Structure 1
Amino acid sequence: MRSVGRIGLLVLLWWKQFQSALGSEEDSCPAGSPRCGSCSGRILVVGAGLAGLVSAQTLQRAGCEVVVLEAHGHVGGRAAALQTGPFRGFDAGAQWVHGGEENLPIMALARFFNLTVEHVGGNTDFEGDHERHRLFLAHGPNEDVKAEAFRQYLQAEEHFDRRVSWVIAEQRRDLALRSAWQLILNRSFDPLFEWQLRVRNEQSWGISAEQVGTRLSEVAVYSTFYSQDAPGDAKLIGGFGSLVRELAKGLNVRYNTEVTSISLESAVSVRTANETYRGAAVIVAVPLTVLQQKMHLQPPMSSDWNASLHRLQMGDVAKLFIKFADGQSPEGSGTYLLSKLVSHTSRSLLYYCTWEAATSTRPSTVPAPPPSTLICLLSGASFSEVLKLKQAGKEALRSRVVEELLQMYPQLQSTAVEAVQLVSFSWDPSVLGSWTSGKVGSSSRDFSIFEQAIPGIAFAGEHTCRLMYGTAQAAIVSGARAAHEVLAGRLDGTIGSTWPFFDKELYSLCDELADEARKENCGFTCPTLWAPLPEVVPSLFQDWQGMPKKARRCWSRLGWRPLSWMRQARKPASSFKKWPLLSFAEKTAATCLGFSAETWNAALKEMTDIILCRSGCTHLQLWDCLAKNQQRDWQHLGIDRSTLNEELASAAATKSWRQLTRLQRKAAIRIGYRPWLW
């Protein structure tokens, strides 16, 4: 009997180990177990891209048991290296460290894992130092034309930035980014500007300007890591694949395990085609389009939640790799970025390319080998073209590449092209896109769905990170944030750890501005907030006694007095009239101050807030610059980030003072409103 009992015990132990290996047993890490550290049970992470890997590492280093479920046969997601072929080791997706050493999240990991970066220069629009950028026209490269193109664009961009909020407010709706540019510039685009607009939008948003919403892309706050004297972008030596390899070490990853549904109805259960995994919580770190189209959540999310989710989108970008035979590269190390003047409808393949050497983990002190590979990014009309070439076969693609190269380098031998390869995550059924942008009609409010506390589940991925969406650093920070949502402050297992993402300053960067972004966006004065009005009507932002006598006389003719000027009395009747309704005398007085019909109507909508700001109100900064108590005051009035800063309509604006609750009136008074100003 004793031997039978021993055999039974062995069988039982074997069965437990077998269940643990399959991951099918329920809550194998029970609450209170010492080996669970800061967790109350096993945590499941769906997706082993940057977001999923950082989530898993953060949880595991906090003492949790973590199982990562990955649909591919490798880790890394859109930061993975190519696994096979002549370009093995090159980055299939993420390629640059935007902001270089100022990029806090990526550099924190690079230092932790002793990885090094090398300077590239440039920014998210145009990679590489300016002097290493060659722009090709029909008859070859031209530095003067390139310099003129950049000058024109920066001049237009300054004008656009001053007026874009006005235009969105005036239209009372979001616009496609290209439409906003056309409306503001009020002219047809010349070829130089057309090329810049296309390249900048495709590089920033992975999609054409016709498909991106202006409110989210240009009006909402966005964090970058470019200080005034920043040296620009960098690359990880060894590529992002070197970072992925370090992040994956020591993790329990189940490969080729595609999740089809997640249930939170009784306990957390994650279903695949062949298995059901159970745990205390799940972190969903799959790409946006997979979440939209393929991930079934039970119980279903609300209709508002789904509406916000579907106002976000992923673009389509392909990478074209071109390898040249030894010694036959048409460019030397003096060129990094190669671009070609194209229209927004052009189907050219070689209009935005960088010259790269084979990836390696060489020390930063060792010079890079000469570039022998051209990597081109294709989106918009060119993505449609390359899809046709992909279907036609590799020889058709090679012929097209050689044809375009010969147009740029007539002396090049066609045999110089040794290999070509196309890669796009849009063609990967487990990704289905490049990176996130907002559709027309989106706002930063749409990201709030990922900030809501939902028991048992958290979301990670670049699409969940409001302040940095669409970037590798967004994926990293969102992964750490999701881990801390699961940990819920239980950090006993982190004492003495050097893991950088136990630092709240890092893992909160999706929701709180980085220092550099705070310097750029916060502390605005009234004239700065309403630019370019101060240039047109400077007296609008001056004290009554401090403005010139002539301006005071003109304001007096419009009915303004010292008390109304400083919110102590009602605004005059003229401040409620649109330009066509003003009398001749009122128009004369307004013109004397510098107003035109357009600027008068624009100022009319903002006059109450201008009075508040002029009177010392501190609530009229960007939402992310406000203190928590100031944000709460606005929230009492039903106003959030998108209504305050992104011209989204607010229901509070339709209520009279008497319709406000007592709590709302108190909040309004703290902000600076008075009954006669509401």
Structure 2
Amino acid sequence: MIRRHFLKNTTLATLAFWSTLASCSQARGPQIETAVSGGEADVIVVGAGMAGLTAARQLQDAGLAVLVLEGRDRLGGRIWTDRSLGVPMDMGASWIHGPDGQNPITPLAKAVGAKLFVTDDDSVILYNTEGQPISDDDLVASEEEYEELLERVAAYGERQERDLSLVAALQRVEPSALNDPLQRYHLTSFLEFDAGGPLDQLSTWYWDQDEAFPGKDVLFPDGYDAVINYLARDLPIYLEQGVERISYDQSGVTITTNQGEFTASAAVITLPLGVLQGGTVAFDPGLPNGMRQAMGRLKMGMVNKVALTYPRVFWDESLQYWGYTDPERGKYSYFLNARTFSPANALMTFGLGNYGLKLESQGDEVIAADVQQTLKRIFGGNIPEPEQVLVSRWTADPWARGAYSYAAVGSRPQDFNALGASVRDVLFFAGEHTIAKYRGTVHGAYLSGERAAKELLKVWAD
């Protein structure tokens, strides 16, 4: 506590400096540093993704001296707008899910004047392995069967004394569903995509025990990073700072990176669940046993994206999506037509569940050829070869170690909230994995950063 008050008194000049910068222009960019040996602030925020930047923004606006450490050479974390193909491609988060009502990302998008595009899930054609479209009647009937199947699985799960994986429950309720092309399509393109994890690891009890905001989903034609850059304005951010150790006690925190040491009275930690589980960042002393147990029960999903550009359009430009009933669950079963919101002749497809992890070991050329085989079955063999390909590999990414968190077999909703608890009023945690109600989402990450900032400010005021 002595050191905390000392820092309060000695950082008045720093606070005045940053406040002056913030008042100059809201359009001013972040104060980016790429090589710093060390520094001191009231609060250190670890991670420049949605959760970290939200917390840092609110803490700095409240008058604290904030310093943000980011291991990557860019902002955003799992919000990654790549422009190497000549157009914005969001290879991480893409949508505002349910932009109506209380979704906090909507006012952010409006504040920055971001262009938004409403996606229509009904603008879709599903093809079988012969390249023939499934009739609308058959698709609607299969969707109804899918909803009924999930209800039966949920009822079966509730009768069990222990949690089961969704695969195990499906095998006991309707084993044929896993081999039915249409049900396999729904189970992967919707359930595995939405939940993040594979059927054989998702909890039957809790895989869908979260909430959603109302309204159709919208995406950012010019890139999701617009809201990241808006939040980051005027924040002092140090890039390429790989955190190695976080030492803390009642007097404050010292964070050791690959470039130096940073000290503060408190810290907001937004390291992804996969990074925390990997043990590459040491905590001294170790985190409370309850947090470590909760961490061990949750898992990170294996959702990856493949973006391809072509010399010409060979598909229906007005159609937003199409599906494919691949025999291998999770393998390029869902395509997004970027041409509906972008000038590029571009498509995006997805590797989901276990296949999402499998594709990470393949080279870009192999992946592109594989996607081409699927497209040729649908559109014929005369389609052009892709000009460019871009692949996400979130599990292999050392700063993410997965796409987003999910409720694995044996986990509980309380586990997510347990990872958002504060430790000794010095460490405060945020991230999409720390909020059970909205886990696995950008708005969940935002709300967790807001929560961490409020909790820290309350302690600071005391």
2:373 is aligned with 1:374: no
Structure 1 residue 312, shift from structure 2 partner: 0.8
Change in CA separation of 1:182 and 1:55 when aligned onto 2, cut-off 3 Å: same
Residue 219 of structure 2: aligned partner: 235
Letter in 1 for 2:105: I
Letter in 1 for 2:350: L
Of the candidates 273, 276, 280, which is equivalent to residue 288 of structure 1? 273
Structure 1 residue 414, shift from structure 2 partner: 3.3
Residue 232 of structure 2: aligned partner: 248
Change in CA separation of 1:30 and 1:388 when aligned onto 2, cut-off 3 Å: closer
Q: Secondary structure at the match of 2:95?
A: coil
CA contact (8 A) 1:450 1:458 kept: no
Residue 577 of structure 1: aligned partner: none
Equivalents in 2 of 1:87, 1:95: separation in Å? Answer: 17
2:319 is aligned with 1:335: yes
Residue 335 of structure 2: aligned partner: 353
Letter in 1 for 2:120: G
Equivalents in 2 of 1:448, 1:346: separation in Å? Answer: 31
Deviations 1:306-346 (A, max 9, x none): 11111111012221111011xx2112331111210123x35
Equivalents in 2 of 1:452, 1:159: separation in Å? Answer: 36
* 1:122-133 correspondence runs (5 A): 122=121, 130=122, 132-133=123-124
Residue 223 of structure 1: aligned partner: 211
Letter in 2 for 1:51: A
Equivalents in 1 of 2:394, 2:176: separation in Å? Answer: 36
Letter in 1 for 2:238: R
2:278 is aligned with 1:278: no
Equivalents in 1 of 2:76, 2:64: separation in Å? Answer: 21
CA contact (8 A) 2:300 2:404 kept: yes
CA contact (8 A) 1:425 1:431 kept: yes
Structure 1 residue 411, shift from structure 2 partner: 5.3
Deviations 1:266-312 (A, max 9, x none): 53111112311110110001111111122211211233321111111
Change in CA separation of 1:28 and 1:271 when aligned onto 2, cut-off 3 Å: farther
* 1:77-92 correspondence runs (5 A): 77-82=77-82, 85-86=84-85, 89-92=88-91
Q: Secondary structure at the match of 2:299?
A: strand
Residue 182 of structure 1: aligned partner: 171
Of the candidates 456, 459, 464, which is equivalent to residue 429 of structure 2? 459
Deviations 1:391-423 (A, max 9, x none): xxx4444433333322221153434x2112212
Equivalents in 2 of 1:456, 1:58: separation in Å? Answer: 17
Q: Secondary structure at the match of 1:168?
A: helix
Q: Secondary structure at the match of 1:207?
A: coil
Letter in 1 for 2:128: L
Change in CA separation of 1:300 and 1:490 when aligned onto 2, cut-off 3 Å: closer
Equivalents in 1 of 2:439, 2:354: separation in Å? Answer: 24
Structure 1 residue 31, shift from structure 2 partner: 4.7
Structure 1 residue 239, shift from structure 2 partner: 1.8
2:382 is aligned with 1:412: yes
CA contact (8 A) 1:100 1:119 kept: no
2:292 is aligned with 1:306: yes
Q: Secondary structure at the match of 1:77?
A: coil
Task: Please report the TM-score for the alignment, with normalisation by the length of structure 2.
Answer: 0.85
Deviations 1:61-81 (A, max 9, x none): 111110000001110010121
Of the candidates 394, 397, 404, which is equivalent to residue 435 of structure 1? 404
CA contact (8 A) 2:196 2:301 kept: yes
Deviations 1:29-49 (A, max 9, x none): 425965659xxx610000001
* Structure with larger Rg: 1
CA contact (8 A) 1:215 1:442 kept: no
Task: Please report the TM-score for the alignment, with normalisation by the length of structure 1.
Answer: 0.59
2:147 is aligned with 1:157: yes
Change in CA separation of 1:286 and 1:381 when aligned onto 2, cut-off 3 Å: closer
CA contact (8 A) 2:127 2:325 kept: yes
Deviations 1:419-469 (A, max 9, x none): 122122222111111011021001112123234342101111100111010
Residue 93 of structure 1: aligned partner: 92
Residue 486 of structure 1: aligned partner: 456
Residue 114 of structure 2: aligned partner: 115
Aligned length in residues: 432
Q: Which ranges of structure 2 fall in alignment gaps of 5 or more residues? A: 17-40
Equivalents in 2 of 1:186, 1:73: separation in Å? Answer: 47
Equivalents in 2 of 1:456, 1:26: separation in Å? Answer: 10
Equivalents in 1 of 2:102, 2:132: separation in Å? Answer: 33
Residue 303 of structure 2: aligned partner: 317
Change in CA separation of 1:119 and 1:395 when aligned onto 2, cut-off 3 Å: closer
Equivalents in 2 of 1:156, 1:321: separation in Å? Answer: 29
Equivalents in 1 of 2:147, 2:231: separation in Å? Answer: 39
CA contact (8 A) 2:202 2:409 kept: yes
- Structure with higher helix content: 1
Equivalents in 2 of 1:70, 1:210: separation in Å? Answer: 34
Equivalents in 1 of 2:342, 2:112: separation in Å? Answer: 24
Of the candidates 187, 202, 207, which is equivalent to residue 197 of structure 1? 187
Structure 1 residue 27, shift from structure 2 partner: 8.2
CA contact (8 A) 2:68 2:237 kept: yes
- Structure with higher strand content: 2
Structure 1 residue 240, shift from structure 2 partner: 0.6
Deviations 1:9-54 (A, max 9, x none): xxxxxxxxxxxxxxxx9988425965659xxx61000000111111
Higher RCO, Cα 8 Å, sep 6+ = 2
Letter in 2 for 1:342: D
Q: Secondary structure at the match of 1:42?
A: strand
Deviations 1:558-596 (A, max 9, x none): xxxxxxxxxxxxxxxxxxxxxxxxxxxxxxxxxxxxxxx
* 1:69-80 correspondence runs (5 A): 69-80=69-80
Equivalents in 1 of 2:221, 2:146: separation in Å? Answer: 36
Structure 1 residue 169, shift from structure 2 partner: 4.2
